[in-house]
Structure 1
Amino acid sequence: MHHAVQVAIARFPDRGHAIEERARTDDGFMSLCDDFAAAQAALVHWERSGSPVRTARCAEYRELVRDLAAEIEAELDRNT
């Protein structure tokens, strides 16, 4: 299973089957999962950072992760 799909399933474990199926058949949804996984990884990076801009970057990536998660959820809801 693709890493981005695993990250999306970790966020929405009760919708794992729908996420797997949708990612397999919809390139746009797979791209959304890729974006979500990348944003999640960037958030983890900044949370571990000692940089003076850490707080600002964490806030930005938390918002991006939240927005992408909402987009994934909306896409799943649209097809149920």
Structure 2
Amino acid sequence: MDQSILVAIARFPDRGHAIEELARTNEDFRLLCADLADAEAAAVRWEYSSLPVSAERSAEYRELARDLAAELAAMLDRHAQ
């Protein structure tokens, strides 16, 4: 299974089956999962950076990850209907 799908499942563990199902059939959903995985990874990288802007950048990527997670949840909700 693609790592980005596992990141989405980690974010929504109770919706793992629905995530796997939608990821198999919807390229936009897979791309959104990849964006979420990238945003979360970037947040962690910035968190451990020694650069003066690291805290600000980490917070920005965490906010982006929250927004992407909300989009994923909305897609999952639409798919469930």
One-letter identity of the residue aligned with 2:53: V
Partner residue of 1:79?
A: 79
Matched positions, count: 80
Partner residue of 1:39?
A: 39
Q: What percentage of aligned pairs have identical amino acids?
A: 62
Partner residue of 2:2?
A: 2
Query: What TM-score do the two structures reach when normalised by structure 2?
Result: 0.96
- Over aligned residue pairs, what C-alpha RMSD do you find? 0.6
Partner residue of 2:30?
A: 30
Distance, in Å, in 1 between the alignment partners of 2:30 and 2:15 is 15
SS of the residue corresponding to residue 49 of structure 1 reads coil
Tell me by how many angstroms 1:59 deviates. 1.4
Partner residue of 1:67?
A: 67
For structure 1, the 5+ residue unaligned runs are none
SS of the residue corresponding to residue 63 of structure 2 reads helix
**CA displacement, residues 3-39 of structure 1 (integer Å, 9 cap, x when unaligned):** 0000000000000000011011000000000000000
Runs of 4 or more above 6 Å deviation = none
Query: What TM-score do the two structures reach when normalised by structure 1?
Result: 0.97
One-letter identity of the residue aligned with 1:79: H
